Every structure is written in structure tokens, then in C-alpha cells.
Chain A
Amino acid sequence: MEVEAAKMIGAGIATIGMGGAGIGVGIIFGNYLSGALRNPAAAAGQFTNLIFGFAVTEALGIFSLLIALLLLFVV
């Protein structure tokens, strides 16, 4: 297989990892929403934790995006 083609395929496979981050972010916001609807008074106090969890989860997806970009433009 040509190296150029292998890079393209590898970059495509690497972006699958972002799907996992998407699921994780969805779980975080979904659970926050269901919790907030049960107890709206406590929702505002947990906003910081929500954003923190979102940021930590999203970073893992960004890592796989970075691998794809590295494969396409650097390697």
C-alpha cells in the first residue's frame, strides 16, 4: 500500500475516537439535565462541575483529532 494512502486511512480511523468523546459529553450533559430537572434549586451550584467534567472528557476526543492532524500534516 502506498504510504500516502495509509496516512489518509489512519487519519480516518483516528477520528473514530472522537465518537467516544461525543458519547461521554452527551452522558454528562444528559445526566446534568435530568438531575437539574429533579432539583432545579441545586442546578446552578453544579454548573462548574458540569463544565469541568465536559472539559476533561472533551480533551480525550481532541487527542484523537490531534493524531489525525499529525498523520495528515506532520508525519
Chain B
Amino acid sequence: MAGTDPIKQFDIVELFSFGTIGADAQGVGGFDLVFTNSALMMVVTVSLISGWLILTTRGRGLVPSRLQLVSEVSYEFIANMIRTSTGSEGMKFFPFVFSLFVFILISNMLGLFPYFISVSSQLIITVSLALLVMTIVIFYGVWKNGFKFLKIFVPSGIPLVVLIIVVPIEVLSFLSRPLSLSLRLFGNMLAGAIVVKVFAGFVVSLTAMGLVGIIGAILPMAMTVALTGLEVLVAALQAFVFTILTCVYLNDAIHPGH
């Protein structure tokens, strides 16, 4: 059973340690500075993205080569998304939104390869990303609009009596944004990886039963292939969803008051 345990793949293992800092003489407290497989996957993700973008835009031909076109299309894709949801004012957030999209997309995709883990199936990564987004939204909204930023809780054109009900709902929905933003990405990537692993586990345990089992294993094997295809779709869709929600929240910071 140990080989097919669907949760085992999310274990974080220590690759090498830099030692402990901040502990007292008895070795109590302090932080373990450890390079884990999760950190390795993040390094792989970031170096893949940087390598891709640096290599493809090095030539910068006026008539783009095929690889340069991939970079330009992804630039246009994100730029259009920001322009349509926040207006041209939101373009100052382009580097942030583009980094978010590419990082989540590549880390989701890398999780589909055997022996690789997806860093976005670790809750700490998605919570950090969501809190980063919400911190930027709140700080920029307050810095740009001042007290008027509170207008995001008060929809315009609504009678005063209804506002008594609507404002607490709006506050609650604002507070649940970082929660839903992080849990959506985490839940989708975690559930996808578990489902693929469960069906792959059926293949392993069926083939151990001899000839009849091997014939019976064709069905879960086909299911694993089909689910991997579905996971490619989910990986791209979730990166897109995270980015578009970031744009919508940034729009609230730029133009509060619906």
C-alpha cells in the first residue's frame, strides 16, 4: 500500500541543510535553514521561465522568430487581460501580474511530469501568493484613494435600508477573497494529483495479479492518460483564473465604488 498512497507524493523532504540559526545554547528554538524538494522545484520553475524569456527575446528581430513569437503572444495575452479588466491604468501592475501568471502556469505544468511535484499543491505557496496579491490591493488602494477606498464595501445606487444588509456581506466577501484565492489553486492542484495517483495505483495493484489483472489494468491505464490530459487543461485554467481574479481585485483598488 505504501507505494500507492496518494498523499505520499506531497511529502516535503530535506535535500540538504544549511544548519540552524537563532537557536540558543541548548539548541532550543531557531529556524532550520533547509533546502527542500519544494524549494528545488521553485528554482527549476524560475530558471525555466527566466531562461525561456531571456533566450527568446535576445535576438529581438523586427520580424519575430517563432520562439520570440511565443514570448510576444504571452505578453499580449496578459496585457489584454489587464487592459480589459482594469483599463490602461492597471498596466503599471503588468510585471507583477505577468510574473504571477507564468510562475503558476509553469509550476502547475511541471507537476504533471513523473517524479516532479507541483509547488502550487503546497498550501503555503498558494497562501503566500494570495496574501501578496491582497496586500498589494489594500496598500495601493489606500495609498491612491485614501479614505475613499472604503467605497468598495458600499455599492452605489442602493437604498439605505438595503445597505444595512449589503455592507456586512461585502465586508465578509472581501475578507474571504484571500482564502478562496489560495484554496482554489491549492485544492485543484492537490485533487488533480491525488486522482491521477489513485488511478495509477489501480494499474500497479491489478498488474500484480497476473494475466487477468494485466488485461483488467487497461481501463485504469486509459483513465490515467485521459486524466493527465484533463490536468493540462486544469493547470492552464487555474493559472488563468488566479491571474484574472488578481486583475479584478486590482481593479477594485484602482477604481473603488463599483
Binding site for B on A (CB under 8 A): 48, 51-52, 54-56, 58-59, 62-63, 65-66, 69, 73
Secondary structure at chain B's binding surface: helix, strand, loop or mixed? helix
Q: Which residues of A contact B240 (CB under 8 A)?
A: 51
CB pair B241 A54 closer than 8 Å: yes
A73's partner among B7, B191, B237, B241 (CB-CB below 8 A) is B7
Are B244 and A65 neighbours in the complex by a CB distance under 8 Å?
Answer: no
**Which of A48, A69, A73 is in CB contact (< 8 Å) with B85?**
A48
Q: Chain A residue with minimal CB distance to B7? A: A73
* Chain B residue at minimum C-beta to C-beta distance from A59: B180
With contacts A59-B180, A73-B7 taken as known, whether A52 is within 8 angstroms of B244 at the C-beta atoms is yes
B7 close to A55 (CB less than 8 A):
no
Contact with A along B232-258 (1 / 0, CB 8 A): 000001001100110010000000000
Can you show 5 pairs from A to B with CB atoms below 8 A apart? A48-B81, A48-B84, A55-B244, A56-B180, A59-B180
B125 within 8 A of A: no
Q: Lowest 4 CB-CB distances: which A-B pairs, in order?
A: A62-B187, A59-B180, A55-B241, A59-B184
> Chain B interface (Cβ within 8 Å of chain A)?
7, 81, 84-85, 180, 183-184, 187-188, 190-191, 237, 240-241, 244-245, 248
Q: Which residue of A lies closest to B81 (CB)?
A: A48
Give A53 Cβ to nearest chain B Cβ, in Å: 11
Q: Which chain B residues lie closer than 8 Å to A55 at the CB level?
A: 184, 241, 244-245
A58 to B238, CA, bound (A): 11
**In whole Å, how far is B254's beta carbon from the nearest beta carbon of chain A?**
16
Please give me the residue from chain B that is nearest to A63 by CB atom. Answer: B183
Looking at the assembled complex, report how far the CB atom of B38 sits from the nearest CB atom of chain A, in whole angstroms. Answer: 18
User: How distant is the Cα of A65 from the Cα of B190 in the complex, in angstroms?
Assistant: 10
A34 to B230, CA, bound (A): 24
Q: How far is the CA of A52 from the CA of B81 in the complex (A)?
A: 12
CA distance A51 to B248 in the complex (A): 12
Most buried by A among B84, B85, B241, B248: B241
- Judge whether A51 and B241 touch: CB under 8 Å: yes
The residue among B187, B191, B248 with the most chain A CB atoms within 10 A of its own CB is B187
Inter-subunit contact B183/A52 (CB<8 Å) = no
